[in-house]
Amino acid sequence: MYLYNVHTHKIESAIENGYDVKCILNTYPEDFGQKKQMYPNAWFSCGIHPWFSDGSEELFTLLEKNAKDPDVVAIGEIGLDRLKGPDIAKQIAVFRKQIELAIEVRKPIIIHCVKAWDEMIALYKEYKGTVPWIIHGYRGNPEQTKQLCKVGFKFSFGEKFNKKSIKHIPLDSIFCETDMSSVTICKVYENISAEIGLGLNHFAILAAGNVKKTFQ
């Protein structure tokens, strides 16, 4: 049985506590080729991070090429960040181009969003029903979670998350990740499954089903 790690920056063990581990390794347009060679069994996301939106025209051309690679299963991490990076208008312009690319290649997007939820929701509504949008490293409170669920977002949880928010999320919209953290993916699955009130195996089957439905 597989534990899917939908967002990580490094690949560690292929087996944890008897489970096979399958990672979606995050890459940038400029390092995708190298990472693909290093990790021939991984899946990948590829995208221009909002922090690096400025002067990203050449990177976008490279991303257009990478996005068609069958091992790239998602466009990301992409999004908006009000605390870091160029001004929000620039970030939105680069985000839009990548959303449209994701729609063109019919792959889900993995979202980085910091304090830009109004803009994020407005964009989701504009492109609604095209490809799945997964908010990575989600830590929002229950109020925000209810609002985002109603709109249609999906959520990926890592080491730190808001325990009170989990019960507001439909079970078909939950994913797990390790991102930059040193915690194991098995530990993340244990934490989330305990919060939902499911056994680890049961939750792993459910999350694997979500991955198969979302990432082709």
Residue 92 CA, chain-centre distance (Å), reads 18
Rounded to a whole number of angstroms, the minimum distance from the CB of residue 205 to Zn ion is 26
The token pair at 33 is: 């080729």
Q: Which is nearer to Zn ion, 81 or 179 (CB)?
A: 179
Rounded to an integer, what distance in angstroms lies between the CA atom of residue 205 and that of residue 198?
Answer: 11
Maximum Cα–Cα distance for the chain, whole Å? 47
Q: Which is nearer to Zn ion, 119 or 179 (CB)?
A: 179
201: enclosing H helix or E strand: helix 200-214
Rounded to an integer, what distance in angstroms lies between the CA atom of residue 60 and that of residue 196?
Answer: 39
| 179 near Zn ion, judged by CB under 5 A | yes
Q: Which stretch binds Zn ion (CB under 5 A): 31-39, 149-157, 173-181, 196-204?
A: 173-181
Quickly list H helices, 54-199: 57-66, 88-105, 117-127, 142-151, 163-166, 185-196
Residue 210 half-sphere exposure toward CB, CA atoms < 13 A: 23
Report which residue's Cβ sits closest to Zn ion.
179
Rounded to a whole number of angstroms, the minimum distance from the CB of residue 7 to Zn ion is 6
Q: Which stretch binds Zn ion (CB under 5 A): 12-20, 51-59, 63-71, 172-180?
A: 172-180
Q: Which stretch binds Zn ion (CB under 5 A): 97-105, 161-169, 177-185, 193-201?
A: 177-185
The token pair at 176 is: 């797990």
Rounded to an integer, what distance in angstroms lies between the CA atom of residue 132 and that of residue 90?
Answer: 23
Rounded to a whole number of angstroms, the minimum distance from the CB of residue 26 to Zn ion is 5
The token pair at 118 is: 């109004």
| 177 near Zn ion, judged by CB under 5 A | no
Rounded to a whole number of angstroms, the minimum distance from the CB of residue 25 to Zn ion is 10
Rounded to a whole number of angstroms, the minimum distance from the CB of residue 90 to Zn ion is 20
Q: Which is nearer to Zn ion, 10 or 164 (CB)?
A: 10
Q: Which stretch binds Zn ion (CB under 5 A): 27-35, 91-99, 178-186, 207-215?
A: 178-186
Rounded to a whole number of angstroms, the minimum distance from the CB of residue 203 to Zn ion is 22
Rounded to an integer, what distance in angstroms lies between the CA atom of residue 2 and that of residue 17?
Answer: 11
> Which residues of the chain form contacts with Zn ion (CB under 5 A)?
179
